Chains A and B, each alone.
Chain A
Amino acid sequence: MTIIYLKNLGRFVFLVLFQALILNNIQLGGYINPYFYIYFILLLPFETPHWLLLLSAFLLGITLDAFTHTFGLNAAACVMIAFARPFVINAISTGTEFMTGHSPSLRNQGIKWFAYYSIILVLIHHFTLFYLEIFRLTEFFQTLVRVLLSSAFTLLLVFIAEYLSFPREK
Chain B
Amino acid sequence: MRYLLFFLRKHYIYFLFLVLEIISLLLLFNNNNYQSSAFISLSNGFAGTVMKASNNISEYFSLRRVNRILAEDNAKLHSTRSEAFYKTDTNSFYRHDTLFMLEYKYISARVISNSTNKRNNFLMLNKGHKQGIEDHMGVIMGERIVGQVVSVSDHFCWVMSLLNKDSRISGKFKKNNQLVNIEWNGGSYKIGDVKEIPKHVVIRKGDTLITSGNSDIFPEGLLIGTIDNFTIAQEENFNYATVRFSTDFNSLSFVEILIDMMRKEKEDLKNSFKTSDR
Interface residues of A (CB under 8 A from B): 17, 20-21, 24-33, 50-51, 54-55, 58, 61-62, 65-73, 75-76, 79-80, 83, 130, 132-134, 136, 139, 142-143, 146
Contact partner of A72 among B28, B115, B188, CB < 8 A?
B28
User: In the complex, A26→B114 CA distance in Å?
Assistant: 11
A interface footprint on B193-225 (CB within 8 Å = 1, 0 otherwise): 000000000000000000000000000000000
Q: Which range contains the number of B residues in contact with the other chain?
A: 35 or more
A8 to B160, CA, bound (A): 35
Separation in Å of the B183 CB from the closest CB of chain A? 12
B residues in contact (CB < 8 Å) with A: 12-13, 16-17, 20-21, 23-29, 31, 36, 39-40, 42-43, 46-47, 50-51, 54, 113, 115-120, 122, 124, 158, 165, 185-189, 250
B21 contacts A30, C-beta separation under 8 Å: no
Q: Interface of chain A, helix or strand or loop or mixed?
A: helix
The CA of A68 and the CA of B164, in the complex, are separated in Å by 14
CB-based nearest B residue for A26:
B117
Pick the contact of A20: B36, B47, B117, B118 (CB < 8 A): B47
> A66 to B122, alpha carbons, bound, how many Å?
13
Known: A51-B16, A54-B13, A70-B120. A132 touches B28 (CB 8 A): yes
B interface majority secondary structure: helix
Please give me the 5 A-B residue pairs with the lowest Cβ-Cβ distance, nearest first: A72-B27, A66-B43, A72-B28, A76-B24, A72-B24
A67, B31: Cα distance in complex, Å? 16
- Besides A72-B28, A80-B21, A133-B118, 14 new A-B residue pairs in contact (Cβ under 8 A), listed by A number: A21-B51, A51-B12, A54-B20, A55-B20, A66-B47, A67-B113, A68-B115, A68-B118, A69-B47, A69-B122, A71-B28, A79-B20, A139-B185, A143-B119
In whole angstroms, how far apart are the Cα atoms of A16 and B16 in the complex? 24
